[in-house]
Amino acid sequence: MERRLRAAISAIVWLTMIGIPGAQTGILKGTQLNPGRVSVGNGNVIVIGCVSRQGQGASAAFIITDPRPKPPAQYRLDGDADLLAMHVGHTLEIGGPLAAASGGAGAGAPTLKVQSLTYISTTCSSPQK
């Protein structure tokens, strides 16, 4: 009986220790890309804003809207579609070089090649007035 009790307690302690790191809050590994590794200049920009998806299927585009300038600036994102899809509706800081506007969804907006992606918030907030 005592042996079974010790085994049960050991199992509970072991499972608790494994579960603690998984239950901690924070940014999940793999949800960011080279955070803080892009600096402004030499054609690179850093944009902070809300990520959205425009269009459907292969012609879909991911757009980031930076509410800081007036009117808000939009950039088409050129990066890992799976990573960007995970962040639709989130506030991110994205850095990389700009390219001229291209066709398809998000046409008219300059294209920002995603070289750095830093997660900021699970929500998109409207700018302060």
Please give the Cα distance from 33 to 97 (Å, whole number). 15
107 within domain boundaries? yes
What is the chain's alpha carbon radius of gyration, rounded to the nearest angstrom?
21
Q: Which domain holds residue 109?
A: 44-121
Instruction: Render each residue's pLDDT in the chain as its tens digit; 129 residues.
Output: 777 767 667 666 655 555 544 444 444 445 566 766 777 878 888 999 999 999 887 778 999 999 999 999 999 999 988 889 889 999 999 999 998 766 555 557 899 999 889 888 889 876 554
Which residue is listed with tokens 């590994």? 29
Contact 119, 90 (CB under 8 A): yes
- In the chain, how many domains are there? 1
Q: What's this model's pTM, rounded to 2 decimal places?
A: 0.67
CATH number at residue 63: 2.40.50
Amino acid (one-letter) located at 112: L
32 in a domain, yes or no?
A: no
Query: Does 77 map to a domain?
Result: yes
